[in-house]
Amino acid sequence: MSRASSPPLDPVAVSEDLTPLPSLKKAGNADIDFDGQLDQPLKIHEDARSGCGGQTWPAGLVLGKHILRYHRRELQDARILELGAGGGLVGLAVALGCGGGSSLLLTDQDEMLQLMQHNIRLNGVESRASALVLNWGEPLPEAVVQQRPNVVLAAECVYFEPAFPLLMQTLKDLFVLNDEAVVYFCFKKRRRADMQFVKMAKKAFAVDEMFDEDRPVFSRQALFLFSFQSKTAANANKAAAANGKANGANGMHKS
């Protein structure tokens, strides 16, 4: 039995009564340094004619800044996948700011493919980044299977309730592919139903709300920042941390 394809996530198809969208901007280029986190600003071409993902959304700015501020070193050699990348704001920020030997796959629906490819070229990261179509709920593309990403970025992927089960399926598939992957997830709550996705995630994964010194600012805008891990990996990490503390205590006692 084949799984359902992702529904079209298009500003015309999604009622604004259902999910308020940001004001659509005119097509053009923007330079974004994530409040000084990037020495060389990210160049991003925005074009909402290709869909609502064609422009920057608040959760992408929050997630990009968070990753650059707190996770820069650990992502230097990571295998990174961005889901629902739109123009590639978060993934490309990581590619510019983290450097090293990291590899990056920007993914979204077919309507976004040319925009993702354009922004990869615009920032000169063709050697480490590529774009491809990944429809939530469908089998993972071969390029993703080969990459086995250990870091997944997802910003502003919660705004269309019929797509929640499809996004959940894709996240589960990614954890099957790599049980030790970490998902960094940020979204803006626009409707009460949006929190249903978090409840779904907590049943399937180990979910933690991440520390960020800017939380008092962005939480007032109903922005939420989480990490997801497989429950197996999270339990193993907790056990390792507990053993480390116990060994440390024993060493102090012996000395």
> Is 14 contained in some domain?
no
> Is 139 contained in some domain?
yes
Q: Over the stretch 77-99, which tens digit does the pLDDT of each residue have? A: 999 999 999 999 999 999 999 98
Count of domains for the chain: 1
Annotated binding residues, written as ranges, equal 57, 84-86, 108, 136, 155
Q: Given pLDDT bands bounded at 50, 70 and 90, which one contains residue 253?
A: low
CATH code: domain of residue 234: 3.40.50.150
> Is 186 contained in some domain?
yes
100 Cβ contact partners less than 8 Å away, ≥ 6 residues apart: 75, 76, 77
Annotated binding residues for S-adenosyl-L-methionine, written as ranges, equal 57, 84-86, 108, 136, 155
Q: Given pLDDT bands bounded at 50, 70 and 90, which one contains residue 20?
A: very low
**Rounded to the nearest 5°, which phi and psi values hold at 230?**
-65, 150
Counting every residue written for the chain, the total comes to 255
pTM above 0.95, yes or no: no
**Can you give the pLDDT at residue 105?**
98
Q: Over the stretch 219-242, which tens digit does the pLDDT of each residue have? A: 999 999 999 999 998 888 887 777
> Is 97 contained in some domain?
yes
**Can you give the pLDDT at residue 160?**
86
> Is 1 contained in some domain?
no
> Is 106 contained in some domain?
yes
Q: Which domain holds residue 139?
A: 28-254
35 Cβ contact partners less than 8 Å away, ≥ 6 residues apart: 65
Q: Over the stretch 89-134, which tens digit does the pLDDT of each residue have? A: 999 999 999 988 889 999 999 999 999 999 999 999 999 999 999 9
**Can you give the pLDDT at residue 234?**
85
Residue 96 token pair: 């510019």
> Is 220 contained in some domain?
yes
Q: DSSP letters along 224-237, please? A: EEEEEE-HHHHHHH
Cβ contact 23:11 at 8 Å: no
> Is 124 contained in some domain?
yes
Specify which residues 31 forms β-bridges with: 43
